[in-house]
Chains A and B, each alone.
Chain A
Amino acid sequence: MRVADDPYALLGLKRDASAEVIKAAYRKLARKHHPDLNPGKPEAEVKFKAISTAHDLLSDPDKRARFDRGEIDGDGQEQRRPPPNGAYRRHAEAGGGTRYDPRRGEDPFDDLFAEMFEARARAEAAPRPGRDEPYRLDVRFIDAVLGTTQPMRLPDGRQLSVKIPPGITTGQVLRLRGQGAPGRNGGQAGDALISIEVMDHPLLKRDGRNLAMELPVSLREAVLGGPVEVPTPGGTLRVTLPPNSDSGRQIRLRGKGIAAHGSEPAGDLLLTLKLVLGEPDPGLEAWLRDNQPAAPDDPRAGMDLGA
């Protein structure tokens, strides 16, 4: 191990410190860092060795003079007597250390520790319930609408079937009893706490138990009305559009939102019509050109931006 280059600095000494001052400084630091007095602190041993090396060098007038002249560095050259290395600590911490156990009936510390460890041993032996284990589960939007049973594989390889009720929302936590960590000494197993994350849907939006969706319609469907086929979470439905339906018109399909669950009734599916002209139609263009109304509607009448 490399010792600090400057033994004076290590011991906190001036260059002209007397032998007594050096001895006192060393004792002060040694009391603090001696390994036998610092069980469980390996850094104390390193520090103590450095202090000992520095002291060995400075307490030897010959070596100190050579160091001062720059002839040797802080590590010195020769092997000095081996510094105390905390050998007692190694014995005391091993099983043989019981030889110096303070085993006296009247020793209050002894009783205190004995009680502490007995209580601990009793607690160890008592039935203890397993911990609840948290998990996360991504649920498809459609599955959150209709409800489903979703398989889920735990990190330990167990396969669970998670029942997803219709209408579940992000942040909801499902508790699967007995699927957490196993109990000890016959204690009950913990629960699996499954935190739900409902994924977004490209077309469907959700508001409580209602769903909203844009429904593209052609100009013909918008003007003439009539039946159109609408895909919904529960399957394709035939919906009759009223004639002359403007873009933006809303149509409510009762009971076609989030499925009913328990006391919760089913939600609605709210369609918002969106006019889609589609491919250019020369016939339509010609007709529109040739049939100018006498008094055309102004769709922008009443637009007031307040500017």
Chain B
Amino acid sequence: MITLELVLQRFRGLSPSEIQGWLGEGLLRAEPCADGPGFTEIDVERIGLILTLRDELDVGEAALPIILSLLDQLYAARRALTQSA
């Protein structure tokens, strides 16, 4: 598990409250650990994706959950296709 501290080190300027917000909205997942939320590698990369969408590609607050939801559906469909192939 990757701790919140390590995540904050990796993404400079990211605040714990932002992560908490994403967790609350269901945009991001984490596992409860002894000293706070624990993240897997895909969670960390997802934070990177969220930051890219928000900061580099200028995706607004309202559009972000929609885009993530569409992406999740797309990846789910692609995985299902790969498995059934």
Contacts and interface: CB of A to CB of B under 8 A. Distances in A.
Q: Do A and B bind each other?
A: yes
Interface of A: 27, 30-31, 34, 36-37, 39-40, 84, 87-93, 95-102, 107, 109-110, 113, 117, 120-121
A91 to B, nearest CB: 4
A113 B48 contact: no
A99 B40 contact: yes
Nearest to B45: A88
Interface string B32-56: 0000000011110110110010001
Given A27-B57, A30-B56, A84 B75 contact: no
Interface string B47-79: 011001000111000000000010111111111
A88 B42 contact: yes
Interface of B: 29, 40-43, 45-46, 48-49, 52, 56-58, 69, 71-80, 82, 84
Interface class of chain B by DSSP: helix
Contacts of B76: 97-98, 101-102, 110, 113
A96 B40 contact: yes
Contacts of B29: 99-100
A300 to B, nearest CB: 81
Given A91-B42, A109-B73, A84 B56 contact: yes
Contacts of B41: 91, 96
Contacts, number: 77
15 contacts: A34-B57, A84-B48, A84-B52, A84-B56, A91-B41, A91-B46, A97-B75, A99-B29, A100-B29, A100-B42, A101-B72, A102-B69, A109-B77, A113-B76, A121-B84
B46 A88 contact: yes
A40 B79 CA distance: 11
B40 A92 contact: no
A27 B57 CA distance: 5
Nearest to A92: B75
Contacts of A92: 42, 71-72, 75
Contact of B49 (A36, A93, A96): A36
B56 A100 contact: no
Among A91, A93, A100, max chain B CB count under 10 A is at A100
B1 to A, nearest CB: 13
